[in-house]
Structure 1
Amino acid sequence: MPPATAPPGTASWGADPYADALRSGRGPLFLRRTDGWLLPLEVERWCARADAADLSALGRCEGAVLDIGCGPGRLVAELAAQGRPVLGIDVSRAAVARTAATGGAALHRSVFDPLPDEGSWGTALLLDGNIGIGGDPRALLARTAELLAPSGLLIVETAPADLDERVEVRVDNGRYAFLGHGHGHDDECRAPGAPFPWARVGTRALLRYAAATGWTPAERWTFARPGQSPAAGRCFVSLRLRRSLPARRG
């Protein structure tokens, strides 16, 4: 398989509104589409400890784990605390710094950059919507295939709706326009970040892209909190490369 090339805009998560939110550990923060539509980002959850839904994914990890787009590092920190070999990568320096502060190991890299131990990772994670990185799920799945060992596992979190959307977005804290286009020097008035491509996919779309890039589904599950409708839960899919041994059952 030829090496995947980096889509344009993969470094735009380094924009100030995102870095500011990670340093403070709180939002509001959004992805703003060009038509003005806003996707809320769960900064507080990302900056907290791994929750039960996260643990449902982490408990399935095998071998050394690569967390792609690790953000502030809660998954890396949890796996490290369990004594698991784990590395996070992120294009945001603030994310890498916060991961390190939690006791996790992380590198300031894009998934499309050269990475340590390519072809030998036991598990890769694409959680918190990170299947959208680069705006091209097919290219991202092809690149991730280069990183895993032949028997490796990829765990992806998908959108709960039946989506297959490629858009251009900016990271936006929602305050810039409201406060008069940044008059003054308050950090909360920072302009939105530069536009970059992003994607959102549901499980059905993910499985189409997976089939086209040599992956086969191993497991699917939804995690809903007590009292929460399953339709409002978080959705996960684990995948294996077709060249690998079949996933064990039971």
Structure 2
Amino acid sequence: MSTAHGVMARDAGGHNWSADPYADALRAGRGPLFLRRGDGWLLPLDVERWCARADAVDRQVLDRCEGAVLDVGCGPGRLVTELAARGRTALGIDVSEAAVAHTLGLGGPALWRSVFEPLPGEGRWNSALLLDDNLGIGGDPRALLSRVAQLLLPGGLLIAETAPVDVDERADVRIVRGTDIQGATGAAFPWARLGTRALLRYARPLGWRTVDQWSAGGRCFVSLRSRSTSSRAEPPNSTAVISSQRARKPSADRPVADS
């Protein structure tokens, strides 16, 4: 998720907070944390689950992954850490520096980078993950699905988590700490929420084929396969992935990493 960096503030109770509520929540391992629309509507973010170890539902999702796995919007890294523990080739990417630092601290492979920037192994990943509300990245589902297709091998697998309600929404949101409108907030950024039917409406015209749909633990998932062609490339190897984990920030507004 897009966040601000490095600014400190003091709340009414005299506590010091950074200007990045998401980073604060990851450091604490807990919320409450929300996405807030301009009209005040709040979507709770499940920080405690994200900061915990992969649970049974997560592990079932990871069991479905094929080959080398790219976790788009990896957050604090429970999924890539679990994959690494299994000896799988995997990489997490996130635009939050705090999330990437947390992932690396757990021993998970991660890059501080946007999915829309150059990435290692483009066109060679076997599987991609868009879990934990990450279908909302960029606020443009067509652009996101098109980009993920570019990152996968032809016929590669995408596992996406959808909203548990039938929704197709795009809005500018902010990350806020607690429900107090005066509480610390992050910068506004575009976001989307998609239920399963909405995801499939966007995916099918782009050549994605539905593999499966299922629910577990109150969460909803869809697996899709990208358009197949006759040409295939070798999947990314673990050495190439590991060698590209040195994060840098060449400018104030474009966090990327060395390829």
TM tier, shorter chain? 0.7 to 0.9
Give the corresponding residue for 2:124: 120
Distance 1:175 1:234 in 2: 24
Distance 1:242 1:49 in 2: 33
Give the corresponding residue for 2:209: 216
Amino acid at match of 1:219: D
Q: 1:40: Cα distance to partner?
A: 0.5
Partner-residue secondary structure (3-state), 2:119:
coil
1:13 and 1:171 in contact (8 A); partners too: no
Q: Residues 155 and 33 from structure 1, CA distance in 2 versus in 1: closer, same or farther, beyond 3 angstroms?
A: same
Point out where structure 2 has 5 or more consecutive residues left out of the alignment. 6-18, 231-259
Amino acid at match of 1:216: R
Give the corresponding residue for 2:245: none
Distance 2:96 2:4 in 1: 6
Point out where structure 1 has 5 or more consecutive residues left out of the alignment. 1-9, 182-188, 225-232, 246-250
CA offset digits 1:124-164 (Å, max 9, x no partner): 00000100000011110000000001131000000010010
Percent identity over the alignment is 69
Give the corresponding residue for 1:11: 2
2:3 and 2:22 in contact (8 A); partners too: no
Q: 1:102: Cα distance to partner?
A: 0.8
Distance 1:147 1:92 in 2: 20
Distance 1:242 1:96 in 2: 30
Distance 2:207 2:119 in 1: 21
Q: Residues 221 and 244 from structure 1, CA distance in 2 versus in 1: closer, same or farther, beyond 3 angstroms?
A: farther
Alignment of 1:1-250 (within 5 A): 11-12=2-3, 16-174=20-178, 177=181, 181=182, 191-224=184-217, 233-243=218-228
Q: 1:242: Cα distance to partner?
A: 2.8
Q: 1:11: Cα distance to partner?
A: 3.2
1:61 and 1:153 in contact (8 A); partners too: yes
* RMSD of Structure 2 on Structure 1 (CA): 1.6
Amino acid at match of 1:238: S
Distance 1:175 1:158 in 2: 24
**TM-score between both structures, scaled by the size of structure 2:** 0.80
Q: 1:176: Cα distance to partner?
A: 5.7
Q: 1:208: Cα distance to partner?
A: 0.6
Amino acid at match of 1:64: A
